[in-house]
Amino acid sequence: MPAPIAMFVYNRKDHAQETIEALAQNDLAKDSDVFIHSDGPSKPEHQAGVEGVRAYLDTLEAKGYFKSVTLIKAPQNIGLSKSIITGVSNIMKRYGQAIIIEDDLVSSRDVLRFLNDGLDFYKDKEDIWAVGAYNIPIDIPDDYGYDVYKAYRTNSWGWASWGDRWKKIDWKMKDYASFLKSRQRQRYFMRGGNDLLEMLSLQMQGKLQSWDSVWCYHQAKFKSFTIYPTVSRIKNIGFDGSGYHGNVNESFDIPFSQEPKPYTLTYPEVDPIIQKRFLKHFYKYPTWMRRLKRRVKRVIGMVKR
């Protein structure tokens, strides 16, 4: 039986429709149970968008895209992080595994096959916490002989995991204070990218909905990894200014095709060249340097005027 699919949508009907209809082209779609979580509007001006998404969702059962479609419509806004944590937790308790898709991810026609195969292949590898379908835009070495690689950080754009890993996460982060006192633990955490520390801090302050930074924190705590494909099976279409973060960003654009790609799952070691390029992609300049760059830009702007 394919793993159940947890999907999370908000107020972008066009994005959600493109995501769902791409997923429906998978050969395992008609064998998959889909649980779609629709959050309530956070602002009055989002009401029409949420209603438009839900009207489209109400048509899915008749379309027969999937084995079953269960709609979970929140009566009020609970936020992205809480929606995902609660929704995934419920499915993990019931099924012991899940595939998670958000509403702005166009997938290849073999993404469900790849993720389900990954769940089967790595389930007994306790240091693998997730299987991802998206690969960031880094060059894979020509002599790298595998179709997947290991990384110290997960990515929330189309992924799968197991209930025994998920239940290890303390979402209240009771040991966060001791973590802040340990430079060693912080350095290990940032093996997934030096941006993680700031993201986690903002999450703990309630200034950012970044549930995945808490996931990455525990992945580091338990010295675990995520499996990435060398060829991406996901394209993010949400960086057009319409999403939660509201920014236009082309740094995650990748070559993408919906055509299936052959692959062999393996259990490789962390490749030092890929790891170096992975870290470089996520590198975030220190705060003082970012402030200095902004000041320089302002001065240049004033001179030009």
Give tens-digit pLDDT for 44-54.
999 999 999 99
DSSP string, 229-286: ESS--EEE--TBTTSSS--B--TT-----SS--------PPPPHHHHHHHHHHH----
Q: How far apart are CA 205 and CA 175, in angstroms?
A: 15
Alpha-carbon Rg for the chain in angstroms:
20
For 160, counting Cβ atoms within 10 Å of its Cβ (0-12 exposed, 13-18 middle, 19+ buried), the class is buried
Q: Letter for the amino acid at 165? A: R
The domain made up of 5-304 has a fold known as Spore Coat Polysaccharide Biosynthesis Protein SpsA; Chain A (3.90.550)
Q: Which two tokens stand for residue 13?
A: 């009907």
* CA within 13 Å, CB half, 22: 26
Q: How far apart are CA 190 and CA 193, in angstroms?
A: 5
Statement: residue 288 has pLDDT above 50: no
Mean pLDDT in residue range 13-29: 97
Residue with tokens 């947890």: 6
- Confidence at residue 295, expressed as pLDDT on a 0 to 100 scale: 54
Please give the C-alpha separations between residue 287 and each of 183, 198, 305, in angstroms, as whole numbers: 18, 10, 27
The pTM score is 0.90
DSSP code at position 76 = S
Statement: residue 300 has pLDDT above 80: no
- Confidence at residue 290, expressed as pLDDT on a 0 to 100 scale: 43
Local confidence band at 242 (pLDDT 50, 70, 90 cut-offs): low
Longest dimension (CA), the chain: 65
For 205, counting Cβ atoms within 10 Å of its Cβ (0-12 exposed, 13-18 middle, 19+ buried), the class is exposed
Computed over every residue of the chain, the mean pLDDT equals 91
Local confidence band at 289 (pLDDT 50, 70, 90 cut-offs): very low
If one counts every other C-beta atom within 10 angstroms of the C-beta of residue 272, the result is 9
Q: Give percent of the chain above pLDDT 70.
A: 90
∠ Cα 20 208 188 (to 5°): 100
Q: Which two tokens stand for residue 241?
A: 């200014």
